[in-house]
Structure 1
Amino acid sequence: MTARKRALLLVWTRRVAQGAFLLLFLALLLAARAPADGTPGRLLGIFFDIDPLIFLATWISARSLEGLSLLALATVLLTVLLGRVFCGWVCPFGTLHNMITSIRTRKERLREGRDAYSGWQRAKYFLLVGLAVAALLGVHWVGVFDPLSLFYRSTATALIPAAQYATESVSTAVYRADPRAGPLSLAALTEPVYRFLRDDLFVAKRAAFSGSALIFVLFLAAVLLNLARPRFWCRYVCPLGALLGLVAKRTPLRLAASSGECGGCNLCRVACPAAAQPEKPGEWLPAECFGCWNCVAACRQNAIDFRWESPFAKPKAGSIDLSRRALFASALGGAAGFLTLRMAPLAQGRTFSPELIRPPGARAEDEFLDRCVQCGMCMKACPPNALHPASLEAGLAGIWTPVLVPRLGYCEFECNLCGEVCPTGAIRPLPLAEKKTTRIGLATFDTTRCIPYAYGRDCIVCEEHCPIPTKAIYFVETPIRLRDGSSLVVKQPRIDPELCTGCGICENVCPFKDRAAVRVTSAGESRHPGNRPFLPFRREDGGYGEETGAGPYGYPAGP
């Protein structure tokens, strides 16, 4: 079998593998929801488990391997042996780039110099160095640029909700209009499709995420740039590709001249999505090559082929010029990023943001930010759509990390999915019993808006929905004087701070939909002793603690 025929077979095998991995990625993303048997499978986060960039950066930032998977080392080993095949065969975001790149016409690809190697491709290595230095100093921003985190976050918070919204809107419009052509009804055709998408594909009810517009715009830009250069993100930006490129520099599977004679047609260069210089076998760039075999398949003269060589022999290949000056500047950029993101009082723990309500099980803020990779798995899995990508609630250091927004959703009392699906341990997987008593915030009443206080009418909506068995909201019957001088007794609600966990359901169901009369803030959260407004009460045994014998405001209950 000639080199070209073998390469054509491998190219089609790669395409099948790429499609399979993309479908698996999307299937696991759609499956990140409340499971029927109560426990989500560990396989849901498998793509993050095999991501060596997430593994390395989180290890550096958190100084711990707790919560991380060693499967990432398998990707490293595969790269050592075969080069950047993860980028060419596995990465679902890379597959999407390939699909968009294929839209470009052959005439555009043949344009002289358009797809040749550019020195700007070194930018991803400098970005990698900057992110690594920032992580070492305590700012974990790798998740912003990691391709798997970016793709998952964009799909979970923007693409799937948009697809669900479009499906519901179109189906509803067709159902209401019910256009007909004689005995045929269009609604009769669309309704089965809609029910399949709703019940079997999406399953979970449609979510809406704050801040998803910016996420979508950035995702769209990253994808559409492939129309300017093939796999633009992979060539110029991707820090995971840069890391794997450094590992692949001495791969034993190397491109070399074969038995045929090169005719100078440059078809191999045109077919190469990575601009790895396959038209110059002696200057081929193993750190850039995706191992896609496109170049060998395109060569009609069988002039090039991949061959096994000793990994200890110096490869006959080109190299990426990473100057020490540029690397030093990148390291300084990472340090400057650390200082910039940590200068705010919030980042230094001198103040607490009332809107920064983290999910139950979230570690202390510094440690949480050392681990969170902004992937969006917890947001996708949250049944009540309570978790949303942060904007500036946590400062720039915490952009797109999960925050609970009570006006949009609440923490379900019988759910601990966020901790179960978190791939890096930023949210600890709490047993359900412990999760039910973990405080993530504290509710307070706005007496200028609360109906019993401001308007002299009974309202018990918040108390009815409070999930705490003994109710964290109770009533005090209070006589009030009406406009005509008569008296009336109304039930005014109070919060028991020893029972309130800050789940947010009271704010979510409050009859005031513009600005709730009961609002939840981060005060009292279990993970931060410094953010607790109440001193621990003294127990009957002389010690200090919580719960036992607690009265309404944290003092011992009276006789």
Structure 2
Amino acid sequence: MGIVTARRLSQGFFLLVFCWLCLVTTLGDGAFELRGWPVNWLLSLAPLTALATGLATGSLFAPLLWAVPVVIASLFLGRFFCGFACPLGTLNQLSGYLTRKTLGRAGRAEDNHPSPAQGLKYALLAFLLAAAVLGNVQTGLLDPLALLTRSASLAVLPLLDPRQGLGQAEARHYDGAWVVGLLLVAILALNALRPRFFCRYLCPLGAFFGLLTRFSPWRIGKADTGNCGTCRLCEEYCEGGCRPSGQLIVSECVLCLNCLDRCPTGRIGFAGRPSAAGEQPLPDFSRRGAVLVLASGTAGLLAAPLWSVGGVAGIGRNPGLIRPPGSLDEARFLARCIRCGQCMRVCPANVIQPAVTVAGAAGLWTPALDYRLGRAGCLPNCIACGQVCPTAAIRPLSIEEKRGLGDFAAAGPLRLGTAFVDRSRCLPWAMGRPCLVCQEVCPVSPKAITVREVFEPLRLPRLAVADSRGTVVTLAALPAVGRNLAAGDFFLRPAGLPQATPQRILGRAAAQLTLAAPLAEAAPGREVEIVVRLEQPHVDPAQCIGCGMCEHECPVSGLRAIRVTSENESRSGPGRMLAEAARQGGRSWRRKSFPA
């Protein structure tokens, strides 16, 4: 078996593993569901994730130690991960081959000529690592493993799930998924311009491996300095644009090994010595390129402080930003989250969505709860998101901790936020229409939503009693009401006596009403009025956990009449509002009081 065949088999294997792990990131124990598969394994192999989160937090999450063997191997072999394992690199190489197969030999060789623009990825790497030093991890936006996982989870698999009977049983919806999908399409389409365009010009992980390659003893190179002719087959099929026929750019070789396989004279090999034709460690940087890298690093150092000036993690936070259960406080959350989308994929309620604007620029595509778009609120007995998070931005929970049971009873359940009733939109408050949905679906015991019963008269002229016999009251006239008076929420009571006990209307026939019990004051000639019983909801902030069941089920479409905001969330001191002393950041503060 040739070395190129071995490389292709390795690429195919890792691509299939990637597809399988994305597919089974679905809660359940079926054939195409989670069942304990290590869905984070490929993400844990990325050294850039381990490095960025380590710089931002000063610690390394244990599963990310899988990146250490990759770094060690890269120090000896070069960018083997790019050529043999990276699934996005495989897709780029395949799409480049398909879109450029009709290009002539001279055109292919010319497109593979090294370009100073290949240094752009080093500027991006400098920006991302500098930002990470100050706690702002943005590597997941361009890290190829996180990028491809996010694209597959939010854009590709939702197109296949309900149609093919794989993964999720119902259609999934994600806010802004079209942008995520178009980004992947654009990355693949750019390979029509240059082979592995993303890998050459934009990939920060490739830049990191390129820096490691400077120290690797084993590399591609020419065995002697003799003239090897003008065939240029090595450059025609080079995937990295590293100039294998001349002075080799060591950091740009992705170990596709096409040059070794294609060379008709055998002058190119893989050995523990420098290339006989000479080497340069990095792409040709002009003075402008060096300034760009320096400016990118400076911009990265400024990004986190400038973001904190807006106070979006503290007093200036968006109250609509609700993180999944188990999320760290906002600053530490953004120092770990790589935006891979696995928590969004595994959520059975489809309530975890990619943040587009609600979390600001620093929180783009991080997970946030959207109770309106999902299929339910946050399920009380579900802890899946924390179990699949590769960096512990959402820490793994137990059911007992989430619900405040057993050893966690004293601390109480985790709170995601608090529901607030919008009385200007609530049917019982604003429209005089009976509704009890939010109170009925509240999963907390005792209920976090209670109701206060009031009786409001319908907007009708006062009605005169023509006859009253037991439970049957005949009115002189009864205009059109437009409602079903026998629905159980309508009552009859004497006009002008709001303290009188109203009697439920059980039936209507023209102007004749049948009541549940006789109405003593309904003598002929007396005036009566029809009232509707309204149960107006009130939220107890001490009981509400912010699960969002009420918001999701609210019958007021669009802007719900009851909405959950992040006030009183467990993960963040400044977001709490129950009156009690607390400590945060070494200084004393008091939680805001909330009126009943």
Q: TM-score range by the shorter chain?
A: 0.7 to 0.9
Of 151, 159, 164, 1:162 maps to 159
Structure 2 CA distance for aligned equivalents of residues 314 and 284 of structure 1: 9
- Residue 286 of structure 1 aligns with which residue? 250
- Offset at 1:439? 0.6
State whether structure 2 residue 103 is matched by structure 1 residue 107: yes
Correspondence list, 1:315-464, <5 A: 316-320=278-282, 321=284, 325-347=291-313, 349-409=314-374, 410-436=377-403, 437-464=413-440
Structure 2 CA distance for aligned equivalents of residues 99 and 384 of structure 1: 35
State whether structure 2 residue 543 is matched by structure 1 residue 499: yes
State whether structure 2 residue 509 is matched by structure 1 residue 486: no
- Offset at 1:42? 6.2
> Once structures 1 and 2 are overlaid, which stretch shifts more, 334-343 or 438-447?
334-343
- Residue 10 of structure 2 aligns with which residue? 17
State whether structure 2 residue 264 is matched by structure 1 residue 297: no
Instruction: Return the letter of the residue paired with 1:431.
Output: S
Instruction: Return the letter of the residue paired with 2:418.
Output: L
What value does the CA root-mean-square deviation take over the aligned residues?
2.5
- Offset at 1:66? 3.6
- Residue 210 of structure 1 aligns with which residue? 175
Partner SS state of residue 28, structure 2 = coil
- Structure-1-length-normalised TM-score: 0.84
Instruction: Return the letter of the residue paired with 2:127.
Output: G
State whether structure 2 residue 240 is matched by structure 1 residue 274: yes
Partner SS state of residue 287, structure 1 = helix
Structure 2 CA distance for aligned equivalents of residues 125 and 525 of structure 1: 39
Asked if the contact 2:26/2:167 (under 8 Å) is kept, the reply is no
- Residue 533 of structure 1 aligns with which residue? 577
Structure 1 CA distance for aligned equivalents of residues 320 and 188 of structure 2: 33
- Offset at 1:285? 2.0
- Residue 179 of structure 1 aligns with which residue? none
Asked if the contact 2:344/2:350 (under 8 Å) is kept, the reply is yes
Asked if the contact 2:133/2:301 (under 8 Å) is kept, the reply is no
- Residue 272 of structure 2 aligns with which residue? 308
Q: Deviations over 1:493-548 (max 9, x none)?
A: 2212112111111111111122211111111111122222331499xxxxxxxxxx
How many residues matched?
A: 498
Q: Deviations over 1:77-96 (max 9, x none)?
A: 11112110100010011011
Asked if the contact 1:497/1:554 (under 8 Å) is kept, the reply is no
- Offset at 1:418? 0.8
Of 77, 86, 90, 2:85 maps to 90
Structure 2 CA distance for aligned equivalents of residues 532 and 467 of structure 1: 21
Instruction: Return the letter of the residue paired with 2:334.
Output: L
The structure in which a higher percent of residues are helix is 1
Partner SS state of residue 234, structure 1 = helix
- Bigger radius of gyration among the two: 2
Asked if the contact 2:175/2:353 (under 8 Å) is kept, the reply is yes
Structure 1 CA distance for aligned equivalents of residues 175 and 352 of structure 2: 9
> Once structures 1 and 2 are overlaid, which stretch shifts more, 115-124 or 336-345?
336-345
Q: Deviations over 1:345-400 (max 9, x none)?
A: 314x2222121010011111011101111111110111111011111211101111
Instruction: Return the letter of the residue paired with 2:577.
Output: P
- Residue 514 of structure 1 aligns with which residue? 558
Kindly, what percent of the aligned residue pairs are identical?
A: 38
- Offset at 1:304? 1.2
State whether structure 2 residue 23 is matched by structure 1 residue 26: no
Partner SS state of residue 239, structure 2 = coil
Asked if the contact 1:263/1:301 (under 8 Å) is kept, the reply is no
Pair 133,110 (structure 1): closer, same or farther in 2 beyond 3 Å: same
Instruction: Return the letter of the residue paired with 1:139.
Output: N
Structure 2 CA distance for aligned equivalents of residues 116 and 314 of structure 1: 19
State whether structure 2 residue 123 is matched by structure 1 residue 126: yes
Structure 2 CA distance for aligned equivalents of residues 252 and 277 of structure 1: 19
- Offset at 1:40? 5.7
- Offset at 1:251? 1.7
Structure 1 CA distance for aligned equivalents of residues 119 and 46 of structure 2: 21
Correspondence list, 1:54-73, <5 A: 54-66=49-61, 68-73=63-68
Pair 444,49 (structure 1): closer, same or farther in 2 beyond 3 Å: same
Instruction: Return the letter of the residue paired with 1:107.
Output: L
- Residue 189 of structure 2 aligns with which residue? 224
Structure 2 CA distance for aligned equivalents of residues 224 and 59 of structure 1: 34
Of 218, 224, 233, 2:198 maps to 233
Instruction: Return the letter of the residue paired with 1:384.
Output: A
Instruction: Specify every segment of 5 or more residues in structure 1 that has no aligned partner in the other structure, as ranges.
Output: 1-7, 168-196, 539-552
Pair 67,319 (structure 1): closer, same or farther in 2 beyond 3 Å: closer
Q: Deviations over 1:303-339 (max 9, x none)?
A: 21111349xx999422214565444222222224334
Structure 1 CA distance for aligned equivalents of residues 455 and 191 of structure 2: 69
The structure in which a higher percent of residues are strand is 2
Asked if the contact 1:364/1:527 (under 8 Å) is kept, the reply is yes
Structure 1 CA distance for aligned equivalents of residues 304 and 17 of structure 2: 36
Structure 2 CA distance for aligned equivalents of residues 106 and 413 of structure 1: 56
Q: Which has the higher contact order (CA 8 A, sep 6+)?
A: 1
Pair 150,108 (structure 1): closer, same or farther in 2 beyond 3 Å: farther
Instruction: Specify every segment of 5 or more residues in structure 2 that has no aligned partner in the other structure, as ranges.
Output: 404-412, 461-528, 583-593
Pair 107,488 (structure 1): closer, same or farther in 2 beyond 3 Å: closer
Structure 2 CA distance for aligned equivalents of residues 404 and 128 of structure 1: 30
- Offset at 1:99? 1.1
- Structure-2-length-normalised TM-score: 0.79
